[in-house]
Each structure stands twice: as C-alpha cells, then as structure tokens.
Amino acid sequence: MRQITVFTHRHPEEVAPALAELSSQALAADVTLRFDPEETAKLGLRPAEGIALDAPVERDVELVVALGGDGTILRALHYYAGTGVPVFGINYGEIGFLATVEHDDLPGGVRRALQGEFELLKLPAIAVELPGNGPQHAMNDLAITRKVGDRVAELSYSLDGEEAGSVRCDGLVVATPAGSTGYNLANGGPVMAWGVEGLVVSFIAPHSMTARALVVAPGDRITIRSGARQPLDVALDGRPAGRLEAGGVVHAHFVKDLGTLAQLPGSSFYRRLREKFGRLAS
C-alpha cells in the first residue's frame, strides 16, 4: 500500500483547501495519508477512507508532503533525515525558499507529488555536539544568542584548533548552503548556492568594525567557545535546542546528504533566489 506522511503549519484554517485537494487526489490514486497524533488533533480530523489518524511517524513511507513554510518543511526534513524519503513542500508560508511549489498551483502540485514527477535534491546538515544534550543536527542553521536583557555575549570560534574569529556580539550563526538565505543572510553573510559543500559562520550584531563572515571547508571541525558570564540560548533551525553555559564549548561539522528535498524538474537555485529575494544587483 502506498503511504504518504503529511505535516502542516500552525494555522490549520489556511491549509484546509490543500488538505481537501490532497485527500481527494490521494483517494483516487489509492494512497493512504498518514497524520501523527499532533497533526490529527491540530487539524481536528475525523475518520475517513484513505486517511490514517494518530499514526506513528513511519520512516518507510514513499513521500512526505509538507503544507506550510520553511519551518514546516524543516520539521519534515528532521523527522526523515538519513532515510532518503523526499519531502515535497507546498508553500503556505511567508517565503517558502525550500518549497517545491506555491500554493496557487495546488492541484498541479498535488498531482506531481502523487505521480512522482519530481527530482531529488540531497541536502547537507550541521552535526552539533552540545554538552549535556547529545548529538543533534540542523538542516538550516545553528544559532547561539544572548538572552533578552542579558549582557552582550563574547564568542569565539576555531577551525581544527586554529582561532578564526572572536568578538563581543549578540550571537553567532553557523549555516548550511540551504540555510545561508536565512539568519546568516540577515547578518550580512554570503549566500551559498545549493550544491556547495561547506558551512558559513557569521556574527549577529557584532560590536566590531572588522568582524566578517567566513565560509568553512566541509572537512574543518568548528569549535565555538563562550566567554560570557551567563548562559546563552542555542537553537537549531529556529527551535530551542539547549543552552551554552558560561565558558562552555559547542562542536559542529559538515554532514553530507542528510536530507532529501523534492524539486520540480529543471528547478534552478538562482531562479528561486531571484524570485524570493529579488536580483542581487540592479
């Protein structure tokens, strides 16, 4: 039996038309849609043919459909990291840089998803080691930030034992190519095209005229040290992941091909960049 996992964003009323279209086409294609307990409750779903409610997240489904923005798509990528199961995003967010199709192409987008009319794009990730939290990963970015109202952070990072940057700032971001158009871009960091192997490190509101973002080679291990007197917040892909104690250390490194994103044939990173953010120069 063909099975697809469905994730949605936090505003169920906005994706109701998409769910109706997806359910109709899936039923006609003899595909079962799986909704975990959180999705079942959030959407207020009732038993119906072709729908599995309160279903555990199975890792051997053929596809994941994410109805939402980049946050929803990232959540799906996290659940299915390392499985090879593609995530097909239909954009119901603000930007939707990771989305496969826009919501105004809903019927056609659902048809392409169910018929497998897409290509696979492998995405790298950041492996993160935070004391007391065990191994974790981020598909977009690792952010270390001071708490609101606390003093300015003092952060430094080194690459394979060689110090590369140290500054008083509001925080530090390590981003993948896919994540380089997010928090890193807001920091004035460089955009990295999908397919580039490596990470970029940038500071948030640095108290320095010389602080610069740095693109890190994929084999270089990043060590981040806090010189602050108070704990700092740690977030992975925008979600709280723990805290970095005063004087603490975080390790991070590049991991190849952890996520799988569905993309329409002929899709171009540079066209997507222009459509979402405008021309780089005009």
70 carries an active-site annotation: yes
pLDDT tens-digit series, residues 42-52: 999 999 999 99
Q: Check: pTM over 0.85? Answer yes or no.
A: yes
The Cα-based distances of 93 to 8, 10, 99, 115 in angstroms read 11, 10, 9, 24
What is d(CA 150, CA 160) in angstroms, rounded to the nearest whole number? 30
pLDDT at 212 over 70: yes
pLDDT tens-digit series, residues 108-167: 999 999 999 999 999 999 999 998 888 999 999 999 999 888 889 999 999 998 999 899
Ordered by start, the domain boundaries in the chain are 2-117, 125-256
Residues in a beta bridge with 88: 65
**Amino acid identity, residue 18?**
A
- Computed over every residue of the chain, the mean pLDDT equals 93
Question: Which CATH number among 2.30.110.10, 2.50.20.10, 2.60.200.30, 3.40.50.410 corresponds to the domain 125-256?
Answer: 2.60.200.30
Split at pLDDT 50, 70, 90, the class of 268 is confident
What is d(CA 40, CA 113) in angstroms, rounded to the nearest whole number? 21
Question: Which CATH number among 3.40.50.10330, 2.170.150.70, 3.90.1150.10, 3.40.50.2000 corresponds to the domain 2-117?
Answer: 3.40.50.10330
What are the CB-based long-range contacts (under 8 Å, 24+) for 83-89? 83/59, 83/260, 84/260, 85/59, 85/60, 85/61, 85/260, 86/118, 86/120, 86/260, 86/261, 86/262, 87/259, 87/260, 87/261, 87/262, 88/63, 88/64, 88/112, 88/113, 88/118, 88/262, 89/261, 89/262
Q: Do 2-117 and 125-256 have matching folds? A: no
* Active-site annotation holder among 36, 54, 70, 220: 70
Helix, coil or strand: residue 225: strand
What is d(CA 184, CA 173) in angstroms, rounded to the nearest whole number? 6
Work out whether the CA dihedral 95, 224, 167, 199 comes out positive or negative: negative
pLDDT at 4 over 60: yes
The pLDDT assigned to 276 comes to 84
What is d(CA 265, CA 282) in angstroms, rounded to the nearest whole number? 28
What is d(CA 268, CA 195) in angstroms, rounded to the nearest whole number? 11
Please choose, from the candidates 195, 206, 132, 209, the residue with its C-alpha nearest in 3D space to the C-alpha of residue 168.
Answer: 206
